[in-house]
């Protein structure tokens, strides 16, 4: 994760889970969140934008709100469970606007439902 972030300025984090249509981080997301926290604790000057993505199922406006809420939930979880300073994280939602795969099948939609970390200035 650290190498990808250094090389490209962003990294997709798979393994952060939510129930359909919800923005509560599920307990099985702990390993992925632990990895993000480790990254942040290893570089105290690192600031990140936490970017929420969805697939294209449903209304775009609803997906935009959901993506924003999920990004903010991930940031809040890193603050509350891992002691990361809130000022180092900012959540943004882009909904279905930046797919990494097709949305025509379950596999593609699953890849598009993700959280990205983007190195912030």
Average of per-residue pLDDT across 46-67: 98
Q: What tokens does 56 get?
A: 């294209």
| Highest CATH level, class, for 2-119 | alpha beta
**pLDDT for position 78:** 99
The pTM of this model reads: 0.95
Task: Return the pLDDT at 85.
Answer: 99
Query: Helix axis angle, 30-42 relative to 60-82, nearest 10°?
Result: 60
% of the chain residues with pLDDT over 70: 100
> What are the structural domain ranges in the chain?
2-119
**Rounded to 10 degrees, what is the CA torsion of 75, 79, 83, 89?**
50
Q: And the tokens for 39?
A: 């990254």
pLDDT in tens, 71-109: 999 999 999 999 999 999 999 999 999 999 999 999 999
């Amino acid at each position: 994760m650290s190498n990808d972030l250094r090389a490209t300025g962003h990294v997709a984090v798979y393994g952060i889970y939510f129930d359909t249509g919800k923005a509560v981080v599920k307990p099985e997301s702990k390993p992925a969140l632990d990895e993000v926290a480790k990254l942040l604790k290893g570089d105290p000057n690192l600031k990140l934008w936490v970017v929420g993505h969805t697939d294209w199922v449903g209304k775009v406006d609803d997906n935009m709100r959901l993506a924003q809420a999920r990004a903010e939930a991930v940031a809040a979880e890193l603050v509350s469970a891992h002691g990361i300073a809130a000022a180092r994280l900012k959540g943004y939602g882009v909904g279905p606007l930046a797919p990494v795969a097709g949305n025509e099948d379950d596999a593609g939609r699953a890849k598009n439902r993700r959280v990205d970390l983007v190195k912030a200035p």
